Amino acid sequence: MEDNNKFLIVGLGNSENKYAGTRHNIGFEVVMKFAQTHKLSFSIDRHAYVAKGKLKGKQVVLILPTTYMNLSGKAVRYWLEREKIDAKNMLVISDDIDLPLGEIKIKPKGGGGSHNGLNNIIELLEHQNFPRLRFGIGKDFPRGFQSEYVLGRFSSNEQKIIEPIIEKCATIIASFVTIGLQKTMNQFNTATTETQDSDKNE
């Protein structure tokens, strides 16, 4: 039986050191910022680096999968089952090339688009009904160079743009855990562009 007071927060990325700081690892950066803010420390466990803590009476489990991005679902499914957490109490943080740099969007469900990590989670859970926080990294690359772009690093100017957004995303995680998805979406989705209005009901 699932525990409604327990939450799984998933940062998507690749765990090897050579991928640290790349655009594709922004999910890791956000979850690590949340852990740092709340003084939680990670240790290696099955399929992931894991940190656990409490926030206003709610239990929080943070994971950074060690499975490589395209097998993220393996870690997610394992930790949902091990911790007996309902998927609606999970927030997955990922990079998104279809959002402008630094723009964020919270959604209750939806497809994975071109994101291999999200698609693998959907495939292994056999549904797409889980909240996700998408972090825009833009798509400033020539056709055919998506892989090089997402595995590249932010420029110093881009870094200045994303650093405060990473902190904002850590605040969003805390909001999701303490006041729930709907109120969090109402508070944080309105601050970004109108492109969200067309697909709020996806």
Known catalytic residue at 24: yes
Phi, psi (deg, nearest 5) at residue 153:
-105, 155
Q: Which of 24, 47, 115, 127 is catalytic?
A: 24
Identify whether the C-beta of residue 104 lies closer than 8 Å to the C-beta of residue 165: yes
Q: How far is CA 167 from CA 29, 48, 93, in A?
A: 10, 23, 13
Identify whether the C-beta of residue 47 lies closer than 8 Å to the C-beta of residue 76: no
**Contacts (Cβ under 8 Å, ≥6 apart) of 194:** none
> What residues are annotated to the active site?
24
